[in-house]
Chain A
Amino acid sequence: MSSSKYVQLVDIAKYFGKVKALDGLSLDIAEGELVALLGPSGCGKTTALRALAGLQVLDRGSMIVDGKDVTFQKASSRGMGMVFQAYSLFPHMNARENVEYGLTLHVHRTSKDKRKARSAELLDLVGLSSHANHYPYQLSGGQQQRIALARALAISPKVLLLDEPLSALDAKVRTQLREEIRRIQVELGTTTLFVTHDQEEALGIADRIGVLRNGKLEQIAAPAELYDRPQTAFVAEFVGLTNPIAGKVSGGSIEILGGVVKTLPGSITSGAGIALVRPESIDVVASKSGNATVFSASFLGATCRLTITMRDGARITAQLPSPDATGLGAGAGVNVSLLDIPVFVKAAG
């Protein structure tokens, strides 16, 4: 039976001098789940991942994996598979030897035949069977990371830890490999913790996303919920684009752009506030006598992004389905209003 608390990080803390890398982080990961830790540089996401791997000693807290307290267990015996941001294949071993390496060690030792079969299976899984005899210097960055993934999976890890494994790759390869990681993770059902500072990556791959700030968890939720219903201003502003629009809050609603929309839980409850409005929550209709003018338009394929100058001079960004934006070029008069989607409101000033 799968456990909803397969991995538990309980009030973990790590201080580097006066810097609080982790400051009481608590997080549960269900068995077979992929959780992404998202946050700006220095928020503690990599420290949390390294602590779970056993590469970072904690100052406080405990870590439980599969019902066993691993807080003081050595990294070499924790059975965590890890893929690093930097290329980490052993340069003197070919792809097959790299994948088999973990299985030659006493912790996971298996017979030679089983090792061969396992490495062949994993190389096939990452689509690199034909590169089994290639050395790292003969592989591209994407190929190296796929071999690193196969190597991490070879030991049938309790938890797969991915430390920004795509950040050194170019955009196209990054997207392809991201989807491949997700496919493999779902196929194998491996519990995975994925660290990234790229929100698109996190939104595209994770079952749940934990947003970290100053060593603490701001919010953890499914991607859609995190995007649509942020609980703090930091989450609203960090995940996706927002337009800060000033308005007056009262009775769980805010008055902006000539309309009234509901506020999300966690917003201020009264007084002057700034609504953080998603570009796709703004409705734009062509109108010569409207309240705004299109400043510029960017075609993004399925959608079109408009930068609009309001009558008071403020600039906002709206995103529409491309067919709805036909004819809305620079200089076009438009009428801007809000769709009935709740927004997060932070205190003004």
Chain B
Amino acid sequence: MKQSFGLRLWRWSIISVVALYLLVPLYAMYDFSTKPYGFGDQGRTFRAWQMIPTQQDLFPAITRSLITAAIVMAIILFLVVPTAIWVHLKLPVLRRPFELLCLLPLAIPAIVIVVGIAPLYRWISINLYESPITLAGVYSMLILPYTYRSLSAALDAVDIHTLAEAATTLGSGIARIIFKIVMPTIKTGIINGSFIAIALVLGEYTISNILNFKTFQVVIAQIGRSDGNVAVAVSLASLLFVILLLLIIPTKKRQGSVLDVDTI
């Protein structure tokens, strides 16, 4: 059935407003990063973009932040997700306390967390290992409110109890149920939670800066203090990189023919 003109106009208006909301800041960043240096100068220059490879601290910082993000991802996949599933399946009585615990990082300001963990990180730096990668520990705590909510919503949307019991009667142990049955079933929730976690790890500034770790975001801030155009160019480049990643990540739907529900 053909949609009415009014409805189409309404839909396209909404899409246009959202697109503008998202694209205008990106264009503004591009515009700023290609502005000539002097006030009187005209035209465009890619000087700031050309200077990106010359930033000595930038690439090691990106590598460190990506490694940190990968460690946080691993913690999510092998600790947070199985724990959330375990609580939903086996310890429903702990769901509320667990949820409250996971929400705590949201209620405590970052600066308070830093003050609390600074002595711990001093000890880690002196006695174990001094690297921004150790931030994965505190980040995996900070991401809990977002990741757990996303997982919890995904777990509530599926009857995992019946799936788990079906797998049990067929001979599955609990580990196989968690990793082979429930996790693939709530894949979307895990991916959503993981994206939020990565965004937080790559964007968190307060803790890493106060603890004097040179992460990606700290280095961008440093570059920004000496050359704003380059900092904005780096930020835009990283945003485009993430958008590209999101587009590349396979969204292939499982094969299957048309819905056939006319027979029993």
Contacts from A to B (Cβ < 8 Å): 53-55, 75-82, 84, 86-88, 90-92, 94, 101-102, 105-108, 131, 133-135, 137-140, 142-143, 146, 148, 151-152, 155, 161, 169, 173, 176-177
Chain B, residues 186-228, CB within 8 Å of chain A (1/0): the string is 0100000000000000000000000000000000000000000
Q: Given A91-B158, A92-B187, A155-B170, A84 and B165 touching (CB < 8 A)?
A: yes
Q: Which of B166, B254, B256, B263 has the most A CB atoms < 10 Å from its CB?
A: B166
Q: Which residue of A lies closest to B253 (CB)?
A: A135
Tell me if A53 and B169 are in contact (CB < 8 A).
yes
B contact residues around A146 at 8 Å (CB): 264
| CB <8 Å contact, A155 and B185 | no
- Find chain B residues with CB under 8 A from A76 CB: 168-173
Q: Which residue of A lies closest to B174 (CB)?
A: A76
The contact string, 1 if C-beta is below 8 Å from chain A, for chain B 229-264, is 000000000000000000000000011111111111
Q: Which single residue of chain A is at the shortest CB-CB distance from B166? A: A88
Q: How far does the alpha carbon of A82 sit from the alpha carbon of B166 in the complex, in Å?
A: 7
Which 9 residue pairs spanning A and B have beta carbons closest together? A142-B264, A107-B171, A102-B170, A140-B261, A105-B171, A92-B184, A88-B166, A82-B169, A173-B264
Among A53, A78, A135, contact of B256 (Cβ-Cβ < 8 Å): A135
| Chain A CB within 8 A of B162 CB | yes
B165 touches A82 (CB 8 A): yes
Name which residue of chain B comes closest to A148, CB basis: B166
Knowing A88-B163, A91-B185 are in contact, say whether A131-B168 is a contact too (CB < 8 A).
no
A90 with B256, Cβ < 8 A, contacts A77-B171, A173-B264, A177-B264 known: no
A55-B165, A88-B162, A88-B163 known; A101 and B170 CB under 8 Å? yes
Complexed CA–CA distance, A178 and B133 (Å): 60
Report the separation of the CA atoms of residues A217 and B170 in the bound assembly, to the nearest whole angstrom.
Answer: 29
Partner of B176, one of A78, A105, A169: A105
Residues B162 and A138 in contact, CB atoms below 8 Å apart: no
Chain B contacts of A101 at CB under 8 A?
Answer: 167, 170
A contact residues around B166 at 8 Å (CB)? 82, 84, 88, 90, 148, 151
- The answer to whether A94 touches B256 (Cβ under 8 A) is yes
Residues of B within 8 A of A177 (CB): 264
Q: Among the listed B159, B261, B264, which residue makes an inter-chain contact with A86, where contact means beta carbons less than 8 Å apart?
A: B159
B181 at the binding interface (Cβ < 8 Å)? yes
Residue of A nearest to B255 (CB): A133
Tell whether, in the assembled complex, residue A143 and residue B264 are in contact, meaning their CB atoms are under 8 Å apart: yes
State A129–B255 Cα separation when bound (angstroms). 17
Complex Cα gap A91–B159 (Å): 11
- A-B pairs with beta carbons under 8 Å apart, 28 shown: A53-B165, A54-B169, A75-B169, A76-B168, A76-B173, A80-B169, A82-B166, A84-B162, A84-B166, A86-B162, A87-B162, A88-B163, A90-B166, A102-B170, A105-B176, A108-B170, A134-B256, A135-B254, A135-B256, A138-B256, A139-B260, A140-B260, A140-B261, A142-B263, A142-B264, A143-B261, A151-B166, A152-B169
Find chain B residues with CB under 8 A from A134 CB. 256-257, 260
What is the CA–CA distance of A16 and B176 in the complex, to the nearest angstrom? Answer: 29
In the complex, which of the residues B171, B261, B263 contacts A106, with contact meaning CB atoms closer than 8 Å? Answer: B171
Q: How far is the CA of A288 from the CA of B15 in the complex (A)?
A: 78
Q: Give the residues in chain B near A90, CB-CB below 8 Å.
A: 163, 166-167, 181, 184-185
Which A residues are CB-close (under 8 A) to B260? 131, 134, 138-140, 143
Residues of A contacting B165 in the complex (Cβ-Cβ under 8 angstroms): 53, 55, 75, 82, 84, 88
Closest-CB distance, A131 to chain B (whole angstroms): 7
- Not counting A86-B162, A143-B261, a sample of 4 additional A-B residue pairs whose C-beta atoms are within 8 angstroms of each other reads A75-B169, A88-B165, A138-B260, A140-B263
Please name the residue on chain A nearest to B165 by beta carbon.
A55
**A128 to chain B: closest CB distance in Å?**
9
Given A90-B163, A138-B257: A155 touches B171 (CB 8 Å cut-off): yes
Q: How far is the CB of B261 from chain A (nearest CB, A)?
A: 4
A residues in contact with B158, CB < 8 Å: 91
Inter-chain contact B169/A55, CB cutoff 8 Å: yes
A318 CB to nearest chain B CB (Å): 35
**Closest CB in chain B relative to A138 CB, distance in Å:** 5
In Å, the complex CA distance between A84 and B167 comes to 12
The winner among B165, B184, B255, B257 for most chain A CB atoms within 10 A is: B165
Report yes or no: B264 in contact with A140, Cβ–Cβ below 8 A. Answer: yes
Which residue of chain B lies nearest to A75 when distances are taken between CB atoms in the complex?
A: B168
Residue of B nearest to A83 (CB): B166
Which of B171, B262, B263 sits near A108, CB closer than 8 Å? B171
Contacts of A81 in B (CB 8 A): 169-170
A264 to B17, CA, bound (A): 80
CA distance A152 to B167 in the complex (A): 10
Within the assembled complex, what's the spacing in Å between the Cα atoms of A76 and B177? Answer: 11
Q: What's the minimum C-beta distance from B105 to chain A, rounded to whole angstroms?
A: 31
Give A51 to B168 CA distance when docked, in angstroms. 13
Chain B residue contacts of A138, Cβ below 8 A: 256-260
The smallest C-beta distance from A119 to any residue of chain B, in angstroms, reads 13
Chain B residues lying within 8 Å of A54, measured Cβ to Cβ, are 168-169
